[in-house]
Amino acid sequence: MSRIAAVAVSRLHRLCFPDDPWDPPAVTEVMSIPGFFGQIAREGKIWAGFALALDLGDECELLSLGVLPQWRRTGIGAALLRSTCLLACGRGADSITLEVAVDNTAALCLYERSGFTVAGRRANYYCRAGRAVDALVLRRRLVTAVPAT
Ligand SMILES: CC(C)(COP(=O)(O)OP(=O)(O)OC[C@H]1O[C@@H](n2cnc3c(N)ncnc32)[C@H](O)[C@@H]1OP(=O)(O)O)[C@@H](O)C(=O)NCCC(=O)NCCS
Protein backbone atom coordinates (compact mmCIF):
# COMPACT_ATOMS: atom_id res chain seq x y z
CA MET A 1 0.00 0.00 0.00
CA SER A 2 1.54 3.33 -1.01
CA ARG A 3 1.28 6.41 1.15
CA ILE A 4 -0.85 8.01 -1.54
CA ALA A 5 -3.49 5.51 -0.50
CA ALA A 6 -3.97 7.34 2.82
CA VAL A 7 -6.82 9.41 1.38
CA ALA A 8 -8.57 6.32 0.03
CA VAL A 9 -8.13 4.43 3.29
CA SER A 10 -9.41 7.42 5.24
CA ARG A 11 -12.57 7.46 3.10
CA LEU A 12 -13.05 3.71 3.53
CA HIS A 13 -12.45 3.99 7.27
CA ARG A 14 -15.04 6.75 7.61
CA LEU A 15 -17.65 4.70 5.75
CA CYS A 16 -16.85 1.53 7.70
CA PHE A 17 -16.47 3.17 11.13
CA PRO A 18 -18.75 6.27 11.06
CA ASP A 19 -18.39 6.64 14.86
CA ASP A 20 -14.59 6.68 14.68
CA PRO A 21 -13.43 8.21 11.37
CA TRP A 22 -9.69 8.50 10.72
CA ASP A 23 -8.75 11.56 8.66
CA PRO A 24 -5.92 11.31 6.08
CA PRO A 25 -3.24 12.67 8.48
CA ALA A 26 -4.25 10.06 11.07
CA VAL A 27 -3.99 7.30 8.46
CA THR A 28 -0.64 8.67 7.26
CA GLU A 29 0.59 8.63 10.85
CA VAL A 30 -0.42 4.98 11.27
CA MET A 31 1.21 4.11 7.94
CA SER A 32 4.43 5.75 9.14
CA ILE A 33 4.79 3.48 12.18
CA PRO A 34 7.75 1.13 11.66
CA GLY A 35 6.44 -2.33 10.79
CA PHE A 36 3.21 -1.07 9.22
CA PHE A 37 1.73 -3.10 6.39
CA GLY A 38 -1.68 -2.93 4.81
CA GLN A 39 -3.87 -3.77 1.89
CA ILE A 40 -6.80 -2.37 -0.03
CA ALA A 41 -9.30 -4.73 -1.64
CA ARG A 42 -10.47 -3.77 -5.11
CA GLU A 43 -13.61 -4.92 -6.87
CA GLY A 44 -13.08 -3.76 -10.43
CA LYS A 45 -12.39 -0.05 -10.12
CA ILE A 46 -13.98 0.23 -6.68
CA TRP A 47 -11.93 0.19 -3.51
CA ALA A 48 -14.15 -1.93 -1.33
CA GLY A 49 -12.20 -2.70 1.81
CA PHE A 50 -8.95 -2.41 3.70
CA ALA A 51 -6.78 -4.05 6.33
CA LEU A 52 -4.10 -2.26 8.35
CA ALA A 53 -1.56 -4.18 10.42
CA LEU A 54 1.62 -3.78 12.40
CA ASP A 55 4.62 -6.09 12.59
CA LEU A 56 5.70 -6.18 16.24
CA GLY A 57 8.38 -8.84 15.80
CA ASP A 58 7.18 -12.29 16.91
CA GLU A 59 3.63 -11.08 16.63
CA CYS A 60 1.60 -8.96 14.22
CA GLU A 61 -1.41 -6.86 15.22
CA LEU A 62 -4.39 -6.25 13.00
CA LEU A 63 -5.11 -2.57 13.62
CA SER A 64 -8.20 -2.13 11.50
CA LEU A 65 -10.28 -4.08 8.99
CA GLY A 66 -13.30 -2.82 7.12
CA VAL A 67 -15.45 -3.52 4.08
CA LEU A 68 -17.86 -1.01 2.54
CA PRO A 69 -21.43 -1.83 3.62
CA GLN A 70 -22.60 -2.56 0.05
CA TRP A 71 -19.81 -5.13 -0.43
CA ARG A 72 -20.26 -7.03 2.83
CA ARG A 73 -20.96 -10.78 2.91
CA THR A 74 -19.19 -11.27 -0.41
CA GLY A 75 -15.99 -12.73 1.05
CA ILE A 76 -13.86 -9.57 0.98
CA GLY A 77 -13.34 -9.39 4.75
CA ALA A 78 -12.27 -13.04 4.89
CA ALA A 79 -9.94 -12.52 1.90
CA LEU A 80 -8.30 -9.47 3.52
CA LEU A 81 -7.90 -11.35 6.79
CA ARG A 82 -6.43 -14.39 5.03
CA SER A 83 -3.92 -12.35 3.12
CA THR A 84 -2.97 -10.31 6.23
CA CYS A 85 -2.23 -13.62 8.01
CA LEU A 86 -0.13 -14.76 5.03
CA LEU A 87 1.83 -11.49 5.03
CA ALA A 88 2.34 -11.82 8.80
CA CYS A 89 3.64 -15.37 8.27
CA GLY A 90 6.00 -14.07 5.60
CA ARG A 91 7.35 -11.56 8.12
CA GLY A 92 8.12 -14.41 10.51
CA ALA A 93 5.35 -13.74 13.06
CA ASP A 94 4.16 -16.63 15.24
CA SER A 95 0.75 -15.13 15.85
CA ILE A 96 -1.61 -12.32 14.98
CA THR A 97 -3.74 -10.43 17.48
CA LEU A 98 -6.56 -7.90 17.31
CA GLU A 99 -9.16 -6.17 19.45
CA VAL A 100 -12.86 -6.35 18.73
CA ALA A 101 -15.91 -4.97 20.53
CA VAL A 102 -17.86 -7.66 22.38
CA ASP A 103 -21.05 -6.62 20.54
CA ASN A 104 -19.55 -6.71 17.01
CA THR A 105 -21.28 -9.88 15.90
CA ALA A 106 -20.18 -9.73 12.25
CA ALA A 107 -16.49 -9.32 13.08
CA LEU A 108 -16.62 -11.93 15.87
CA CYS A 109 -18.15 -14.48 13.48
CA LEU A 110 -15.52 -13.73 10.84
CA TYR A 111 -12.63 -14.01 13.31
CA GLU A 112 -13.96 -17.17 14.96
CA ARG A 113 -14.42 -18.77 11.57
CA SER A 114 -10.87 -17.77 10.68
CA GLY A 115 -9.35 -19.55 13.66
CA PHE A 116 -9.02 -16.72 16.20
CA THR A 117 -9.61 -17.49 19.87
CA VAL A 118 -10.10 -15.24 22.89
CA ALA A 119 -6.86 -14.27 24.63
CA GLY A 120 -8.15 -11.52 26.92
CA ARG A 121 -10.70 -8.84 27.60
CA ARG A 122 -10.29 -5.07 28.03
CA ALA A 123 -13.04 -3.47 30.08
CA ASN A 124 -14.67 -0.27 28.76
CA TYR A 125 -12.25 -0.16 25.86
CA TYR A 126 -14.55 1.50 23.34
CA CYS A 127 -16.87 4.44 23.88
CA ARG A 128 -19.88 4.49 21.58
CA ALA A 129 -22.50 7.24 21.83
CA GLY A 130 -21.48 7.80 25.44
CA ARG A 131 -21.68 4.06 26.25
CA ALA A 132 -18.64 2.03 27.27
CA VAL A 133 -18.15 -1.31 25.50
CA ASP A 134 -15.63 -4.02 26.38
CA ALA A 135 -13.15 -5.33 23.84
CA LEU A 136 -12.03 -8.92 23.38
CA VAL A 137 -8.41 -9.56 22.50
CA LEU A 138 -8.30 -12.34 19.92
CA ARG A 139 -5.26 -14.27 18.80
CA ARG A 140 -4.53 -16.73 16.05
CA ARG A 141 -1.39 -18.80 15.92
CA LEU A 142 0.31 -18.77 12.54
CA VAL A 143 1.93 -21.80 11.03
CA THR A 144 4.88 -21.25 8.76
CA ALA A 145 5.36 -23.76 5.99
CA VAL A 146 8.89 -24.32 4.70
CA PRO A 147 9.78 -26.14 1.50
CA ALA A 148 10.46 -29.84 1.99
CA THR A 149 13.92 -30.76 0.77
C1 LIG B 1 -16.54 -7.40 9.90
C2 LIG B 1 -16.44 -7.13 8.39
C3 LIG B 1 -15.05 -6.67 8.05
C4 LIG B 1 -16.73 -8.46 7.66
O5 LIG B 1 -16.47 -8.24 6.28
P6 LIG B 1 -17.26 -9.06 5.13
O7 LIG B 1 -16.57 -8.78 3.85
O8 LIG B 1 -18.70 -8.77 5.21
O9 LIG B 1 -17.00 -10.56 5.59
P10 LIG B 1 -17.10 -11.85 4.63
O11 LIG B 1 -18.11 -11.65 3.56
O12 LIG B 1 -15.74 -12.23 4.21
O13 LIG B 1 -17.69 -12.93 5.66
C14 LIG B 1 -16.95 -14.08 6.04
C15 LIG B 1 -17.71 -14.78 7.15
O16 LIG B 1 -17.76 -13.96 8.34
C17 LIG B 1 -19.03 -14.17 9.00
N18 LIG B 1 -19.83 -12.94 8.94
C19 LIG B 1 -19.53 -11.80 8.25
N20 LIG B 1 -20.50 -10.88 8.46
C21 LIG B 1 -21.40 -11.43 9.29
C22 LIG B 1 -22.61 -10.98 9.89
N23 LIG B 1 -23.10 -9.73 9.64
N24 LIG B 1 -23.28 -11.82 10.71
C25 LIG B 1 -22.82 -13.05 10.96
N26 LIG B 1 -21.68 -13.56 10.42
C27 LIG B 1 -20.97 -12.76 9.61
C28 LIG B 1 -19.72 -15.27 8.23
O29 LIG B 1 -19.29 -16.52 8.77
C30 LIG B 1 -19.15 -15.06 6.83
O31 LIG B 1 -19.25 -16.21 6.02
P32 LIG B 1 -20.62 -16.46 5.15
O33 LIG B 1 -20.96 -15.16 4.46
O34 LIG B 1 -20.22 -17.56 4.23
O35 LIG B 1 -21.67 -16.86 6.16
C36 LIG B 1 -17.52 -6.09 7.94
O37 LIG B 1 -18.77 -6.46 8.48
C38 LIG B 1 -17.20 -4.65 8.37
O39 LIG B 1 -16.49 -3.94 7.69
N40 LIG B 1 -17.79 -4.21 9.52
C41 LIG B 1 -17.59 -2.82 10.00
C42 LIG B 1 -16.17 -2.58 10.45
C43 LIG B 1 -15.76 -3.57 11.53
O44 LIG B 1 -16.51 -3.82 12.47
N45 LIG B 1 -14.53 -4.12 11.39
C46 LIG B 1 -13.98 -5.05 12.34
C47 LIG B 1 -13.42 -4.32 13.50
S48 LIG B 1 -12.59 -5.43 14.64
50-100 pLDDT tens trace: 999 999 999 999 999 999 999 999 999 999 999 999 999 999 999 999 999
CA 149–ligand 1 middle distance (angstroms): 39
Q: For 15-49, write each residue's pLDDT tens digit.
A: 999 989 999 999 999 999 999 999 999 999 999 99
Distance 115 CA to ligand 1 centre (A): 14
Range of the domain at 16: 3-141
Helix (H) or strand (E) holding 72: none
Which residue's alpha carbon is nearest to atom 25 within ligand 1?
106
The β-bridge relationship of strands 131-141 and 59-67 is unpaired
- Asked if the structure places residue 46 within a domain, the reply is yes
Q: What predicted TM-score, i.e. pTM, was given to this entire model?
A: 0.95
Number of domains the chain is built from: 1
For ligand 1, whether the C-beta of 138 sits within 6 Å is no
Q: Which atom in ligand 1 lies closest to the alpha carbon of residue 81?
A: 12
What residue owns the CA closest to ligand 1's atom 23? Answer: 106
- Asked if residue 146 is part of any domain, the answer here is no
Domain with 90 in it: what CATH number? 3.40.630.30
Is 65 part of any domain?
yes
C-alpha of residue 94 to centroid of ligand 1, in Å: 24
Distance, CA 148 to ligand 1 centroid (Å)?
Answer: 35
Cβ of 136 below 6 Å from ligand 1: no
Q: What integer is the mean pLDDT of 4-18? A: 94
Query: Is there a domain that residue 149 lies in?
Result: no
Nearest CA to ligand 1 atom 37: 106
Position 22 in a domain: yes
Residue 51 falls inside a structural domain? yes
